[in-house]
Amino acid sequence: MSYQMQQLSYLIGLTIVLFFLWHTPALYPLKILVVFFHESSHAIATLLTGVRVIEMEVVKEAGGHVISSGGNRFITLTAGYLGSLVWGVSIFLLAVGTHWDRWLMGALGSILVAITLIFIENAFAYGFGLGMGALMILSAKYLSTQINDVLLRIIGLTSILYVPLDIYSDTIARSNLRSDARMLAEETGIATLIWGGIWLGLSLIMIYYCFRLSIKLNPNASKTQENHP
């Protein structure tokens, strides 16, 4: 079996497993982690627009919010869903395409701890952020590259799949919710459904190219070329 077919089989297998576990408690920590990515993206975008993050919260119901002192509302509101997708795509592709899995897991854990200490105030998110970050750092230190690779792929793929489902649920199926799209609609006068549709379309395009690239990536290719000029 070719390397590309192996990667495709791996991707399909992980996706099927996540599909059957999607509404079970097994994926609850990963869904909270994706919400962490979502709210962190809002917070980072807020800082990049030159204003201060007043409050960031993640709650046990798999929701959250960021309150800022101002800034560019288009950038900060758009950053939530698409930013969390960037987190997922980056983690997944780095896991698939490199042998940096232990380093990546440690870096991800450290980033999670730093975000928690800098931005988080509510007890649930504080405990989750520090606890999950610590587990990632311990995984990087004590578990094998192969195990870290599988864990990173699961984290990345969960974030990737969660984003379009969340966009559809929050902005299209329940467009009455006060979602990022609803708040952007209030700012721009463009309907919530339109923003939801735009974000959903962009997320699906990003996911398509992510999966397409992941099947082609081969971290052993450079070694093979060096050994067989």
Q: What is the pLDDT of residues 51-102, one digit of tens each?
A: 999 999 999 998 999 998 887 889 999 999 999 999 999 999 999 999 999 9
Calculate mean pLDDT across residues 132-141: 98
Calculate mean pLDDT across residues 144-169: 94
pLDDT value for 84: 93
Calculate mean pLDDT across residues 127-146: 97
49: enclosing H helix or E strand: none
Amino acid at 29: P
As given in the structure block, the two tokens for residue 169 are: 């649920």
Domain ranges for the chain: 3-98+151-217
Q: Are 192 and 179 in contact (CB under 8 A)?
A: yes
| Residue 106, pLDDT above cutoff 60 | yes
Burial tier of 178 (Cβ tally within 10 Å: 0-12, 13-18, 19+): exposed
- Residue 189: which residues within 8 A CB-CB, separation 6 or more? none
Q: Are 147 and 139 in contact (CB under 8 A)?
A: yes
Calculate mean pLDDT across residues 169-197: 87
Helix (H, G, I), strand (E, B) or coil at 58: strand
Burial tier of 130 (Cβ tally within 10 Å: 0-12, 13-18, 19+): middle
